[in-house]
Amino acid sequence: MTDHISITDLVNRVSHASDDDQTSVAQIVQALGQTSFLPNMMIPALAVVSPLSGVPLFSSICGLTIALVAVQMLIQRDHIWLPDFLMRKHLRTQRVRKATDWMKKPARFLDRITKERLRLLVHRPFLWVTQLICLLCGLTMPFLELVPFTSSLMGVVVCLFAFGMLARDGLFTLLGLGALGGVGWAAARLIA
């Protein structure tokens, strides 16, 4: 697991990943670090929660990125691999900066309230369960894109889990489980 990194720092890294008109996924991964699995999972999850989730195919790209990072965490790779077609995807830098500006206030709040607690929930064997749930959430995002902004719900769950792992704060893992339960309950009510 990586050392504790502030979410505000991660958001700033993404904001400054490119000085060009376009920012690629490869530039964002490079800014976050090839060995930084949790930041590379958290940033797409935060992005899906942002207004960017309304951009066509954006949630699918973020979901696939989350799923690929989660798989690699589960098999304990030492660095991130993402396929070329994902690494070459671009967004306008202006949109990226607008989204990261939107993320800064919640990031500062999260950085202030975090501390190491309920450590059992952020270490193996429970850590594998959390990573598996993140993988499944990422895989559902492309399907949720059919209904605009619903992938944001899965993004919230992944954000809570990733933040819990990053900060070693099991309280966020519990909140993630609660959010997942709430999403499951809402889906069951809609189907029934």
Q: Among 16-25, 53-62, 74-83, 131-140, which is the least confidently predicted range?
A: 53-62
**1 pLDDT exceeds 60?**
no
> Which sign does the torsion angle of CA 180, 149, 152, 133 carry?
positive
- C-alpha to C-alpha distance for 80 and 169, rounded to whole angstroms: 23
Tell me the pLDDT tens digit for each residue of 174-192. 999 999 998 888 778 877 7
Stretch 150-156: mean pLDDT: 87
Confidence of residue 2 (pLDDT cuts 50, 70, 90): very low
Residue 22: in which H helix or E strand, if any?
strand 22-24
The alpha carbon torsion through 55, 181, 136, 118 (nearest 10 deg) reads: 110
Question: HSE (CB half, 13 Å, CA atoms) of 39?
Answer: 24
Domain boundaries, the chain: 7-191
The residue with greater pLDDT, 137 or 57, is: 137
Residues 6+ apart with CB under 8 A from 145: 56, 57, 59, 60, 151
- Position 4 scores a pLDDT of 58
**153 pLDDT exceeds 60?**
yes
Highest mean pLDDT among 21-30, 44-53, 78-87, 125-134 belongs to 125-134
For 92, list phi and psi in degrees, rounded to 5. -65, 135
- Position 145 scores a pLDDT of 80
Tell me the pLDDT tens digit for each residue of 101-152. 888 888 888 888 888 888 889 888 999 999 999 999 999 999 888 776 778 8
**53 pLDDT exceeds 80?**
no
Percent of the chain's residues with pLDDT above 90: 26
Report which DSSP code applies to 54: G
Percent of the chain's residues with pLDDT above 70: 96
